[in-house]
């Protein structure tokens, strides 16, 4: 079974600084997708970034980027120029190709200090 | 981005009653819908997967007779919690995806409190 591990229950970052959230996963599949979702206090799940396993280039979305290391099964999220609105729970998620559901990690709570 | 709505956003009911939660995809056809449950300060736990027009597939440990899922159309799925008890109190989140696409989109969630 696929598993997703987030080893940092909580992280904090100073406003305008950079923070990296860690995620590792376990799978025997060769074709899959990885995601980072943000869950603010409203509890609405918001997609932050997506990475296809077949792509070697790391995905980037404005201030958010990933470091995808396929051989190491590692998928970290880097948030640059952190803003107060980035404070939230961040969930790493995995999905195999095909009609399969997302498997989530336990989440990392990010605090942004003004 | 795609929009998924849920109704109601919050419901309080007495023990023993049934509660229905609706999940709608507003601007796309959701060939597959997923129902998750989230306890406070925990991650999302998948309850079941439903494909339009088919019976839902439940995860191990989820009682299909207690959590009835219907996915009768490409834009609507419902979760009915039958004979709810206080231990069913939780945050229920639906998610939807169109066949062939990569991303799941999430509804805003429903907070259920059973007294």
**Residues 78 through 97 of chain B touching chain A, CB cutoff 8 Å:** 91, 93, 95
Tens of pLDDT, residue by residue over B84-115, are 999 999 999 999 998 878 889 999 999 999 99
Burial of B71 (0-12, 13-18, 19+ CB in 10 A): buried
∠ CA B5-B8-B10, nearest 5°, is 120
| Partner-chain contact B91 A95, CB within 8 Å | no
Taking only the tens of pLDDT, chain A with its 114 residues reads 789 999 999 999 999 999 999 999 999 998 999 999 999 999 999 999 999 999 989 999 999 999 999 999 999 999 999 999 999 999 999 999 888 899 999 999 999 999
| Chain A residues in contact with B3 (beta carbon < 8 A) | none
Nearest to A91 among B43, B46, B91 (CB): B43
Q: Does A36 touch chain B (CB under 8 A)?
A: no
């Amino acid at each position: 079974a696929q598993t997703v591990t987030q080893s940092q229950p909580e992280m904090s970052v100073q406003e305008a600084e950079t923070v990296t959230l860690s995620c590792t996963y376990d799978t025997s599949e060769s074709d899959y997708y990885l995601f980072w979702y943000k869950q603010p206090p409203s509890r609405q799940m918001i997609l932050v970034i997506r990475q296809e396993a077949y792509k070697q280039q790391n995905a980037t979305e404005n201030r958010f980027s990933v470091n995808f290391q396929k051989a190491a099964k590692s998928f970290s999220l880097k948030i640059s120029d952190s803003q107060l609105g980035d404070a939230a729970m961040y969930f790493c998620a995995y999905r195999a190709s095909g009609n399969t559901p997302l498997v989530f990690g336990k989440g990392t709570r990010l605090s942004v200090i003004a | 981005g795609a929009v998924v709505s849920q109704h109601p956003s919050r419901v309080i009911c007495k023990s023993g009653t049934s509660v229905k939660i609706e999940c709608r995809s507003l601007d796309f056809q959701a060939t597959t819908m997923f129902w998750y449950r989230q306890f406070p300060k925990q991650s999302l736990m998948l309850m079941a997967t439903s494909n339009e027009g088919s019976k839902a597939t439940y995860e191990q440990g989820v009682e299909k007779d207690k959590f009835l899922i219907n996915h009768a159309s490409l834009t609507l799925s419902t979760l009915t919690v039958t004979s709810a008890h206080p231990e069913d109190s939780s945050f229920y989140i639906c998610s939807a995806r169109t066949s062939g696409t990569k991303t799941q989109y999430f509804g805003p969630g429903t907070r259920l409190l059973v007294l």
